[in-house]
Amino acid sequence: MVRDTSVVLSGLKLDNPVIPASGTFGFGNEFKDFYDINILGSFSFKGTTKEPRFGNPTPRIAECERGMINAVGLQNPGIDHVIAEELPHLKTYFHKPVIANISGFSIEEYAYCCERIDKEEQVGIIEVNVSCPNVRHGGMSFGTSPEAAAEVTRAVKAVTTKPVYIKLSPNVTDIVAIAKACEEAGADGLCLINTLLGMRIDTMRRKPVIANTMGGFSGPAIFPLAVRMVYQVAKACSIPVMGCGGVQSASNVIEMMMAGATAVQVGAANLVDPYASKKIVEELPLEMERLGIERLQDIIGIVK
């Protein structure tokens, strides 16, 4: 029996739900030399801002048990370069709609970048990262307040035609309240979770390992937390959810989908093993067979 791995995100049909997460796959260029990345459902490209960003000082990475901390600082070439150089090059080796991850430090920057990227043919979904610090309000992340997250959502939806997915931060007391605020403001979908705030200390040097002191904690250690938040948000909202956080196997993908995710992003695993997403795609039909699943669409949110 042929197992049906396809899913549909806001009218966009994907061959499978496996999507490398933003910041772990660049623009796909480095990975295309390892395997044909067209086997993926899609991928979310590097978080893009209006101006080029060098990012945070080094060291930016700290190893942890069952995970890692990163404080790269949204290093990217800026929206103009992405549109002029990266997307035309991407089109030569990736022949499916891609997910554009957009970041910003003001409402105006989010709207400007999303309006620009919305016009690009290769972009199927715009993923808006609201974990950035709002520079006008003391550095508090847009994604930690329902009002601020809704304001970003409304501003982006006003200038775009493509589906807009808001990527939520887990560093909040009530992620459901923020998810519902984004849905009410017009979001077409949600992506969760982004990284948790973490820290490591070099006990010999008596200093933080990362130059930025703290960074985003990701990897398999956060998977149960991500599943819980996906479950809560999928139950509370009627728009699709992309699950993300600690996914490293086909079994994890199916678990996340049973919790309510329509598609599943793979993040830190790509940095450990460049073939991680490829292996998950190949393992999915075997795991479906083992569990007696004919169509992945049938298991989305099956856990009550």
Catalytic residues: 132
> Are 186 and 150 spatial neighbours (Cβ–Cβ below 8 Å)?
no
For the beta sheet containing 67-70, the strands, ordered from the edge strand earlier in sequence to the opposite edge, are 61-64, 67-70, 215-218, 196-198
> Are 78 and 51 spatial neighbours (Cβ–Cβ below 8 Å)?
yes
241: which strand partners? Answer: 190
Q: Which helix (H) or strand (E) holds 269?
A: helix 268-272
**Helices H / strands E in the chain, number of each:** 9, 15
Distance separating alpha carbons of residues 175 and 194, to the nearest angstrom = 11
Distance separating alpha carbons of residues 237 and 239, to the nearest angstrom = 6
Return the structure tokens found at 81.
């370069």
For the beta sheet containing 263-266, the strands, ordered from the edge strand earlier in sequence to the opposite edge, are 18-20, 263-266, 241-244, 189-192, 164-167, 123-129, 98-102
Angle, helices 175-184 vs 223-236, to 10°: value is: 40
Distance separating alpha carbons of residues 275 and 271, to the nearest angstrom = 9
How far from the centroid of its chain's Cα atoms is residue 175's Cα?
A: 16
Return the structure tokens found at 252.
């994890």
Strand ranges inside 61-163, DSSP E: 61-64, 67-70, 98-102, 123-129
